[in-house]
Amino acid sequence: MADNATVLTGSVATGKSTVAGMLKEAGYNVIDADRISREVFKIKEDEIARFFDTTNRQQIAAIIFTDPRKKKKLEEIMHPTINSIIIEEAKKLELLNKRYFIEIPLFFENYGSYPFKKSVVVYAPRELQFKRLTKKRGLGADMANAMINAQISIEEKKKRSAWIDNSGDIDRLQKNVEHFIRNA
């Protein structure tokens, strides 16, 4: 299973979605775990509301990035369904016998949950992640740091996988994605 799959991962604000868009433009199928997560959130909304007393995604994000116990509970509610949908979509794409990508932001944090062997990390250094979160997304420094710290460090992820550098401009990123496609 998943012989044609490559997981596209990284950390918050490294540019995974931008790279996924470039891969789609290049003709590849991309399974989007964030899209699936939003769908599962709607399915599990009642259960989430019972635990968090809200279904506001921004409020829940603020809670889980500061409370590991609540983060774990949300993962217990959501991840089994997310995982099974990703695997079902991957099975369908395997039948095409073409290379495809699965954008899974927390792949290494949930290592062992998926049957995929190949991965590529979208890399941007921590300082750039922080800048993107505070300047482009308008988050405060504490929330930006909490989000970055809630994940395995980007430097550690870079050691575990092939990687695409996204520390430059969009043209440089496009060239790096094209290089990755040609050489991977």
CATH of the domain at 80: 3.40.50.300
Q: What is the pLDDT of residue 166?
A: 98
Could you tell me the residue range of the domain that residue 129 belongs to?
Answer: 5-183
Residue 65, CA distances (Å) to 12, 112, 113, 139, 167 in order: 12, 22, 21, 13, 25
Strands 162-165 and 29-32: unpaired
Query: Among residues 129, 119, 122, which one has the least CA distance to residue 20?
Result: 122
Q: Give the residue from 111, 46, 49, 51 showing the smallest Cα distance to 79.
A: 111
Residue whose entry in the numeric block shows the structure tokens 């990755």: 180
Measure Cα distances from 53 to 57, 93, 131, 165 in Å: 12, 38, 32, 40
d(CA 15, CA 25) in angstroms, rounded, equals 15
Mean pLDDT of 82-108: 96
Please state the pTM of the whole predicted model.
0.93
Q: What's residue 66's pLDDT?
A: 87
Eight-class DSSP state of 151: S
**What pLDDT, on a 0 to 100 scale, did the predictor assign at position 6?**
97
pLDDT tens across 108-134, in order? 998 788 999 999 999 999 999 999 999
How many separate domains does the chain show? 1
Amino acid at 183: N
User: Rounded to whole angstroms, how far apart are CA atoms 176 and 184?
Assistant: 12
Q: Residue 24 is which amino acid?
A: K
Flag whether pLDDT at 177 surpasses 70: yes
> Do the Cβ atoms of 139 and 133 come closer than 8 Å?
yes
Backbone angles phi, psi at 84, to 5 degrees: -70, -35
Q: Which two tokens stand for residue 13?
A: 């604000």
